Amino acid sequence: MRVGIFPAKAVKDAIQFGETSGGYPQMAVVMRTVDEPQESTTFLIFSPDSAPYSFDRLRALGWKGADLNDLTGIDTNAVATRYWVEEYQGKPQNKCEIMGGSRVTLSKPMDQKSFAARVAALTGQPVGGTQKSSGVPWEK
């Protein structure tokens, strides 16, 4: 199996539904890479904490619904998918994970104006003025 990040789509007719060992609903979604097809399975878990991320991943794949009885569109979009091999009980297991569709929430959010002012105070870069060059090669 090739390892790395590749564009892949869900294989709609290969989705399985079940339950985790902790008792939460889960979907096993086979992902097939777009170029040089290879397949591996990613798991979407619907616990109170992980469900928002699982729904985000389904939407990234192209699902527009609200009812999990209808997964129309889940095989529409190619998304960045990470493939790797991990040992489990002494045997190599192919793994994959949908990279797109997940979000984070900062523990200490601030508005953009406060953020810019804080960065300016820490770096000496003026807020809303001409920026000094930091000397990094990609900055002109």
CATH number of residue 12's parent domain: 2.40.50
In a domain, 89, yes or no: yes
In a domain, 32, yes or no: yes
User: What's the whole-number mean pLDDT along residues 126-137?
Assistant: 57
| Model pLDDT for residues 3-46, shown as the tens digit of each residue | 999 999 999 999 999 999 999 999 999 999 998 889 999 999 99
Q: Which residues contact 47 (CB under 8 A, 6 or more apart)?
A: 20, 22, 24
In a domain, 132, yes or no: no
pTM of the model: 0.69
Look up the domain containing 76 and give its range. Answer: 4-98
- Classify the phi-psi angles of 124: left when phi > 0, otherwise alpha if psi is within -120 to 50, otherwise beta: left
Q: Are 122 and 128 in contact (CB under 8 A)?
A: no
What is the reported pLDDT for 29? 96
CA nearest neighbour of 75 among 86, 64, 67: 64
If one counts the domains in the chain, the total is 1
In a domain, 79, yes or no: yes
In a domain, 28, yes or no: yes
Separation between Cα atoms, residue 129 and residue 3, nearest integer Å: 45
Residue of 130 and 48 predicted with greater confidence: 48
In a domain, 90, yes or no: yes
Residue 11's alpha-carbon distances to 48, 78, 87, 94, 133, in angstroms, are: 26, 11, 25, 17, 48
